[in-house]
């Protein structure tokens, strides 16, 4: 395991932000951490990075514990990169100076620093504006530089706290593609976002948090299967015979079939893979269209937490 958090508790007076949290990430994973506002995502990151001390529990990163002393803490910090939720840049320094500053703080120096700075600017599409202050950047460019400052030292674990807030679609795609690329190169990624489709797109595993605990953990497919018990397929048939619903109902897993005008709506248990069988039964009729309700991570999230992900957002 790259890191583990066992039985971690963090309280802010009456509020329990982390309630005996268990979370573990393997090397090379791209883990999506989802949860409604106040679910404990940011506290998890703060505890993990040492910005906030946990009240109880055991946290290990790279098989080391912060309790092992200063050298362990320094070593852990050197191997982590963090992209905070808000922009964390020096606006009076240029993009290059920002990257170099954080690179130096992580111990990268000399020719290596110059090479990495150039590479980072290139890969984030900021080479042309390297000498300019982030004050003059668009929101997307600032976000990219914000990420750049966290990867200049090539961390083994990259933690991103909603890094695409307020970013245009083009920059967002750029960022997501970039994250997939560095993950392919071996960087483990812990990613939190309000954008479910981003998590679905890039994360190999998703943990859903609520009230300071992980309430669901698995791949997107596993999560959707675990909470959605039925799936719906709708056929548009030119002249459906009255016997058609009866024939479809005989297919194993189908729980209901209703006809209304041209629409034949079939529900069957999740994961039964009945589409081909239903189409086979309906083949003698003129089928004008087929639609299947796609079960999304959003549906799973809603079912698990009872809240929409962006609920309460301004």
Note whether 78 binds other proteins by CB under 8 A.
yes
Q: In terms of DSSP H, where are the helices of the chain?
A: 41-49, 70-78, 95-105, 110-123, 139-151, 169-184, 196-202, 220-227, 244-249, 275-282, 297-305
Query: Tokens in use for 279?
Result: 């189409």
- Interatomic CA distance for residues 194 and 37, integer angstroms: 9
Stretch near other proteins under the rule CB under 8 A, chosen from 8-16, 76-84, 209-217, 254-262: 76-84
Note whether 124 binds other proteins by CB under 8 A.
no
Binding mask 214-253 for other proteins (x = CB under 8 A): ----------------------------------------
Q: How far is CA 229 from CA 127, 189, 224, 253, 294, in A?
A: 50, 31, 9, 11, 13
Binding mask 86-105 for other proteins (x = CB under 8 A): xxxxx-xx---x---xx-xx
Which among 197, 224, 221 has a CA at the least distance from the CA of 309? 197
Which contacts of 309-313 are long-range, i.e. CB under 8 A and separated by 24 or more positions?
A: 309/34, 309/36, 309/194, 309/196, 310/194, 311/36, 311/37, 312/36, 312/37, 313/37, 313/194
CB of 261 to other proteins, least distance (A): 57
Beta carbons of 48 and 188 less than 8 angstroms apart: no
Nearer to other proteins, 175 or 257 (CB): 175
CB of 159 to other proteins, least distance (A): 10
Query: Tokens in use for 104?
Result: 């130096």
- Choosing from 4, 22, 28, 50, the residue that interacts with other proteins (CB under 8 A) is 50
Note whether 17 binds other proteins by CB under 8 A.
no
Stretch near other proteins under the rule CB under 8 A, chosen from 106-114, 136-144, 199-207, 225-233: 106-114
CB of 74 to other proteins, least distance (A): 4
Binding mask 148-187 for other proteins (x = CB under 8 A): -xx-------------------------------------
Note whether 112 binds other proteins by CB under 8 A.
no
Q: Is 294 helix (H, G, I), strand (E, B) or coil?
A: coil
CB proximity list for 94: less than 8 A, separation 6 or greater: 130, 131, 132, 133
Stretch near other proteins under the rule CB under 8 A, chosen from 18-26, 31-39, 77-85, 251-259: 77-85
How many residues sit close enough to other proteins to count as binding (CB under 8 A)?
Answer: 28
CB of 104 to other proteins, least distance (A): 4
List contacts with other proteins (CB under 8 A): 49-51, 74-75, 77-78, 80, 82, 84-90, 92-93, 97, 101-102, 104-107, 109, 149-150
């Amino acid at each position: 395991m790259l890191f583990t958090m066992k039985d971690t508790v963090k309280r802010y007076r009456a509020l329990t932000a982390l309630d005996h949290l268990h979370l573990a990430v393997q090397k090379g994973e791209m883990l999506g951490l989802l949860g409604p506002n106040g679910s404990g995502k940011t506290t998890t990151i703060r505890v993990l990075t040492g910005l906030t001390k946990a009240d109880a529990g055991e946290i290990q990163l790279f098989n080391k514990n912060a309790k092992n002393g200063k050298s362990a803490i320094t070593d852990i910090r050197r191997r982590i990169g963090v992209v905070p939720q808000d922009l964390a840049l020096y606006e009076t320094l240029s993009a290059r100076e920002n990257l170099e500053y954080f690179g130096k703080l992580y111990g990268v120096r000399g020719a290596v620093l110059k090479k990495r700075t150039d590479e980072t600017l290139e890969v984030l599409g900021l080479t042309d504006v390297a000498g300019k202050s982030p004050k003059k950047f668009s929101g997307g460019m600032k976000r990219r530089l914000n990420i750049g400052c966290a990867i200049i030292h090539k961390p083994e674990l990259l933690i991103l706290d909603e890094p695409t807030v307020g970013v245009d679609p083009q920059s967002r795609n750029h960022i997501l593609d970039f994250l997939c690329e560095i993950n392919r190169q071996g960087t483990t990624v812990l990613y939190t976002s309000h954008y479910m489709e981003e998590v679905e797109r890039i994360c190999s595993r998703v943990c859903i948090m609520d009230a300071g605990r992980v309430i669901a953990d698995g791949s997107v497919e596993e999560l959707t299967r675990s909470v959605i018990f039925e799936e719906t397929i709708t056929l548009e048939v030119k002249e459906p015979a009255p016997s058609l619903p009866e024939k479809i109902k005989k297919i194993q897993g189908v729980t209901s079939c209703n006809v209304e005008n041209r629409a034949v709506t079939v529900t069957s248990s999740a994961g039964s893979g009945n589409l081909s069988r239903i189409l086979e039964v309906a083949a003698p009729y003129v089928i004008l269209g087929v639609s299947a309700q796609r079960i999304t991570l959003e549906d799973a999230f809603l079912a698990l937490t009872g809240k929409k992900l962006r609920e309460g957002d301004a």
